[in-house]
Structure 1
Amino acid sequence: MTIKGLLPLIVATLLCSGTALVDARQPKNSVAPTKPKISQPVQPKWKLFTAPDGRFSILMPGVPIRNTQAQKTYMGVINLELFVAQPPKQEVAYIVAYNEFPYSYGQMANPQEILNNAQDLALKTTKSNLISQRNIRSSNGHPGKEIEYVNSGGKITKTRMYFAQGRLYQVMAISSKKQHKTLAKTITGYLNSFQVVLKT
C-alpha cells in the first residue's frame, strides 16, 4: 500500500509558497539622493512555536500562518495542516506540513515506504532534481529522511520528513539560489529545532 495519492496537495501548496517569496528591495526615499546603501536582510526574531495540539515544536521566524485543507483519498478525507512563515525581505519560506493517517493504516504502514513515496512524489510533482538524501531519525527515535532538491526555477528545498504516531511530518525551507548559501546555517538550525512531542 502506498500514499502516492495523499501528497499532491502538500507539494502544490508548497510550490505556491515557494514562488511567492519576497524580493528584497530598497525602500524609496523622498529626500535628496545620497550614496546607495547596501541593504542587509532583515533578521527576524526567532521564537519557539508549539503546534495548537501540542504534538510538535519548532523555532520559527515569527508566528506562522496556519492553513488547513481537506483532501479526498481512497482512505477517506484526510486533513492537511500547514504552518508557513516568510521573513520580510528574505527569499525564503519556512514550512511545517503534516497529515494524519487513519489509525488502522498508520499501524500497518511501512514507515520507510511512506518516506520514499513522499520523496518520489515531491521530486516528480515539482519537476526537481535531487541534490542529496539521507535517512535520519527524530530526537525520540522516529524514522525520517532528509532530502534537498532544486526545481527548474532555481528554488532550493531542504526537507526533513518524519513518520511518527500515524502522522507524516514535512519540515522544509524553500529558498532562492541567491540566498541559499547565506541562509544555510539558519536553515540547518531551523530543521534541527523540530521536535515531535509524543502523545501519551
Structure 2
Amino acid sequence: MELSISIDNPMLQTNRKLNQLFLAAVFLVLVETLSNPKVEAKPINNLQQLPTSSVIAATPAWQEFSSSEGKFSVLFPNGKVEEISQPENSNSSGIKSLKMHGVTGDKNAFIVGYADFSIDVSQVAPGELIDAFLEGMLQNESKLLSQKNIQFEEYPGKEIKVKDEKNGTIYNSRFFLVGQKIYFMMVGSIETPEVSDTQKFFNSFQLIK
C-alpha cells in the first residue's frame, strides 16, 4: 500500500523548507566558487588516475575522483580537486552532513556532493522531496530553463538547467535521492557550457560500496 502525503502534510512542509535552505546554500557555494576558486577550499589527496586501458586513455585531460565516505566515484576535468566548505549560515537541523568537491577553471566549475539527512525522509514521496530541491535552486533570481525527470539505477532524480539572471551564469545540475542521502552534480559556466563535458561529467558518476 502506497503512502499518500498531501502538500499540506507537516512533515513534507518541514522537509521542503530544509531542502530549500540546503540547496540554496549549495547554489550559493557554486556561485562563490565560480567567482573565486580559492573560496574555502582545501586540497584533496584521495585522487585516483584511471588505468590507461580504461575510458580515460582516450581523454587524458579527465581524472577519476572517488569518495569512500560518500560511496561514489566521478570523472573530473583535469585540475586540482578541492573540498569546498559550506557557508556557515547554511547549517540545518535536518541535515546531518554535507560534503562537496569540485574543480574550477577561469570560466567554469564542476562540483559533486551529497547530503545525509538526520530526519527520516522515507515518510515523504521521493517526487515531492526532489521537487523541493528544485524550488531551492530557483531562489535568488534564478530562472529555470529546462527540467526532466531522470532515473539513476533504481533511484529517482531530476536534471535541470538554471540561469542566474543577475550575472548570466548557466548551471546544469543533476540530483537524485538514495535512501537517506541526496547526491547532486553541478556544472556552472559564465559562457554556454560544453554539452559534451557536462554529459561526460554527469554520466561518469557511479555508486561504489
TM exceeds 0.5? yes
Aligned to 1:80: 98
Distance in 2, matches of 1:150 and 1:21, equals 20
Contact 1:65/1:85 (CA < 8 Å) preserved in 2? yes
8 Å CA contact 1:97–1:169 kept in 2: the answer is: yes
In structure 1, C-alpha distance between the alignment counterparts of 2:189 and 2:37, rounded to whole Å: 8
From 152, 156, 162, the counterpart of 1:143: 156
TM-score norm. by structure 1 comes to: 0.75
How far the C-alpha of 1:78 sits from its partner, in A, is 2.5
In structure 1, what is the equivalent of residue 186 of structure 2?
Answer: 172
CA shift at 1:12, angstroms?
A: 1.7
Instruction: Return the match for 2:199 from 184, 188, 198.
Output: 188
Provide Cα deviations, 1:147-189, integer angstroms capped at 9, x if missing partner.
0011121100000001012111110100112x42xx2211111
Pairs aligned (count): 169
TM-score (norm 2): 0.72
Equivalences for 1:1-200 in 2 at 5 Å? 1=12, 2-6=15-19, 7=22, 8-20=24-36, 45-53=61-69, 55-61=71-77, 62-69=79-86, 71-75=90-94, 78-87=96-105, 90-102=106-118, 105-125=120-140, 127-138=141-152, 140-152=153-165, 153-177=167-191, 179-180=192-193, 183-197=194-208, 199=209
The answer to whether the 8 A contact 1:157-1:172 is kept is yes
Partner of 1:27 in structure 2?
none
Whether the 8 Å contact between 1:148 and 1:157 is mirrored in structure 2 is yes
Residues of 1 paired with 2:32 and 2:133: CA distance?
18
How has the CA–CA distance of structure 1 residues 135 and 53 changed in structure 2, closer, same or farther, with 3 Å as cutoff? same
State the shift of 1:190 in Å: 0.8
How far residue 54 of structure 1 moved from its aligned partner, in angstroms, is: 5.5
Partners of 2:147 and 2:206 lie apart in 1 by: 20
By how many angstroms is 1:63 displaced?
Answer: 4.3
Secondary structure of the 2:34 match is helix
When the two chains are superposed, the root-mean-square deviation of aligned CA atoms in Å is 2.4
Could you tell me how far 1:106 is from its partner in structure 2? 3.3
1:110 Cα deviation from its structure 2 partner: 2.1
- Contact residue 91 and residue 176 of structure 1 kept, 8 A: yes
Are the counterparts in 2 of residues 63 and 85 from structure 1 also a CA contact under 8 Å? yes
